[in-house]
Amino acid sequence: MSEAFDVIVIGSGPGGYVCAIRAAQLGMKVACVEKRATLGGTCLNVGCIPSKALLHSSENFEAASHDFAEHGVMVDGVKLDLARMQARKGEVVTANTRGVEFLFRKNKVTWLKGEGRIAAPGRVAVDGTDYETKNIVIATGSESMPLPGVAVDEKAIVTSTGALELDKVPGHLVVIGGGVIGLELGSVWRRLGAEVTVVEFLDHIVPGTDREVGRQFERILAKQGLKFRLSTKVTAATAGSDGVTLTLEPAKGGPAETLKADVVLVAIGRRAFTAGLGAAEIGVALDERGRVKTDGHYATNIPGIYAIGDVIAGPMLAHKAEDEGVALAERLAGQAGHVNYGVIPGVVYTWPELATVGQTEEQLKAAGVDYRIGKFPFTANGRARAMGMTDGFVKLLADKKTDRLLGAHILGPDAGTLIAEIALAMEFGASAEDVARTCHAHPSLNEAVKEAALAVDGRALHI
């Protein structure tokens, strides 16, 4: 038996590394096991960070190619250097993963390199060495969901990981799944010159999003050139020398048809990852979707074993994993860590961005809650006009009787930043009136949030 720890965290994604740092800050002796060559998990290596780097770079390319002229900025012969764009993305990733290494050193968190297996409660084996620990935290994240009949080779048929690494712009990219990954990475490759077709099983994209906002989002993306095949399922995809041939069928049954693609991105969701962990073998209970079952305080059914992040229930988001990491570390230190699941923002980093927090109109209707709506379009916002970015609107939902904010859905420029104001307001139990009476700088995009709050009471000023 080797060294003993207070906490061993398995997995160094945003859930695991943040949990390790917070536990170390609270005086515990902490190790974090990671089998990947770099720290940071899916998010930093093949998720949030590289996708946002490519989204930003491709946005610049599109702006230089199409939008600068409107501002009187004339650039001739804009050319794409994809190799440079990809290299920059790699540099951004490295800066972030090294950052986590630095934070581990700073906080005296030991990185145990290799694959971690729970040998027994209180014992973790890492590539042949056993470590004793008072607590084990499973933070092993998630992996791309496979689609029967579609074999991923990460070249012609790719998951998000392969789609972030393409060294050539595909002529035709077919994306299976009109969710977050499909729309973000579909947008990247469309901007860089690919024809992009999104095949979605449901009759709408971004399921779970407020439908009015989702419909407008779909219209804007379609205007940009994304093609949508809704209510359609892919039943097979075969890669050959001349690209990939897909078999498509109407979701509710009907005649099949074929579609040709140069590259196919499978983005139909992600599933909890516990392979090789040994959790089920020692009796850790999993749910029907293979996620580690936990109670309200991240404890599994085995004393001393906890789980957080994508591997447990809830939205698969980096900030949700991080907040759970902090809450659990604080609980292990005897404090009262807590996550408010009613106020977790979600952002799709397309153009325009789609940001949401709290409940949708559909959820409020289903729950029988009486609500009022306040909406304000970016066409009526001075700053958005100055920027030439007027697509989208802010939609706020407030309780009809108490005026308490229940949800916000923002489609527009920098919506991912704007949503933070409402998330904070909701944490404080604010009313729409509270936001409406807060002085907002002029000219700013945030004024659209204030106007939507005024609109809840029918008193918007600029429309």
**48 part of the interface to ligand FAD, by CB under 6 A:** yes
Nearest CB to ligand FAD, comparing residues 317 and 418: 317
Closest residue to ligand NAI using C-beta atoms: 179
Tell me which of 104, 273, 298, 349 binds ligand NAI, using CB under 6 A. Answer: 349
- Tell me the DSSP string of 216-232: HHHHHHHHHT-EEE-SE
What are the structure tokens assigned to 406, written together?
């229940």
**Quick check: 429 and 403 in contact, CB under 8 A?**
no
Tell me which of 15, 162, 358, 374 binds ligand FAD, using CB under 6 A. Answer: 15
Tell me which of 22, 164, 174, 200 binds ligand NAI, using CB under 6 A. Answer: 200
Mode of pairing for the β-strands spanning 270-272 and 142-144: antiparallel
Q: How far apart are CA 309 and CA 325, in angstroms?
A: 8
Quick one: the chain helix, strand, coil %, rounded to 5?
A: 35, 25, 35
- Tell me if residue 338 is catalytic: no
Give least dist CB 378 to ligand NAI, A: 20
What does 147 interact with, of ligand FAD, ligand NAI, none (CB < 5 to 8 A by kind)?
ligand NAI
Contact window for ligand FAD (CB under 6 A) among 67-75, 135-143, 250-258, 374-382? 135-143
Map residue 348 onto helix, strand or coil.
Answer: strand
Q: How far apart are CA 265 and CA 158, in angstroms?
A: 5
Q: How far apart are CA 137 and CA 329, in angstroms?
A: 10
Tell me which of 175, 268, 327, 456 binds ligand NAI, using CB under 6 A. Answer: 268
Sign, Cα dihedral of 144, 150, 151, 156: negative
Q: Residues 312 to 331: which contact ligand FAD by CB under 6 A?
A: 316-319, 321
Q: How far apart are CA 243 and CA 240, in angstroms?
A: 5
Site pattern 167..196 for ligand NAI (x: CB under 6 A): ---------xxxxxxx-x------------
What does 277 interact with, of ligand FAD, ligand NAI, none (CB < 5 to 8 A by kind)?
ligand FAD
Q: How far apart are CA 423 and CA 79, in angstroms?
A: 40
**Quick check: 391 and 415 in contact, CB under 8 A?**
no
Q: Which residues bind ligand NAI (CB under 6 A)?
A: 147, 176-182, 184, 199-202, 207, 233-234, 267-270, 315-317, 346-349
Residues within the interface to ligand FAD (CB under 6 A): 10-16, 33-36, 41-43, 47-48, 51, 115-116, 139-142, 160, 181, 273, 276-277, 309-311, 316-319, 321, 349
Which residues are identified as catalytic? 442
